Amino acid sequence: MAEQVAHSPDTAGSQRPRRLTAEARKRSILKAARQAFIETGDMNGTTIKAIAERGGISEGVIYRHFESKDQLFYEAVVEPLREAVDELVAATEVVDLEEPLTPERQLQTMNGLYRQLISTLEEVLPLLGLVLFGDPKVGRRFYRKHFAVAMDRLADAWRDVEDRYGFEFESPDLSARAVMGIALVLAMESRHNDLFNRDRAVALISESTIKGFFPVIEPSRRRR
């Protein structure tokens, strides 16, 4: 099967093929792989051929970007999680850039964080279960190199914010893990419980998280 290409109009008004960049091609392969793995619910039962057919490309194109199906499966789970954490960390870094953080905005920020995490975890939930609770060696490697790292990055971002207000954040690492765990459970509720009210759940858990894990922000104490 020939590799898919995008098309763009030339000066005469006709279309000519325009190849995707390597990064865009890799993202499209990961998307196709994610869908294929979710459909089968099994890494071993999903073939490279099936992924290629879903993506409308040849198997050779996949092997130009990924060494093996294991690597493809691994990155299909890692990419959405990494992107979500990148966005959350970036948002935390600028949350009080223009004006001091108030308790109201602190709550609003936590609300947005939960929404982002829940949406991302719900998207990769079937694959996340396979990678964490399938092969123990794979699960341990994924947790240490990616899941734990994601939580550590959130903890570091929160530690920086609290430091700007002169507070000693006793356990940001534990707080980040608690938030990730709560988001994971809410993602499962969202996926499997038709009666689940995400807005209400996020509002309640955001307020509880702020009260339970974070000190009260006083805008006047902002150091820099």
Provide mean pLDDT across the span 19-31: 85
pLDDT (0 to 100) of residue 194: 94
pTM of structure: 0.74
Using pLDDT thresholds of 50, 70 and 90, give the confidence band for residue 188: very high
Distance (Å, whole) CA 199 – CA 178:
19
Mean pLDDT, the chain, as a whole number?
A: 82
**Is the predicted pLDDT of residue 122 greater than 70, yes or no?**
yes
Distance (Å, whole) CA 89 – CA 155:
9
Q: Which domains does the chain have, with CATH numbers?
A: 1-66 (1.10.10.60), 69-214 (1.10.357.10)
Write out pLDDT tens, residues 54-93: 888 889 999 999 888 888 887 887 778 788 888 888 877 7
Write out pLDDT tens, residues 135-184: 788 789 889 988 899 899 989 988 887 777 777 767 889 999 999 999 99
Tell me the residue ranges of DSSP E strands in the chain.
Answer: 6-9, 15-18
Cα separations in angstroms, 60 against 24, 57, 68, 200: 16, 8, 11, 47
Q: Which residues of 126-151 are buried (b: 16+ CB within 10 A; e: fewer)?
A: bbbebbbeeeeebbeebeeebbeebb
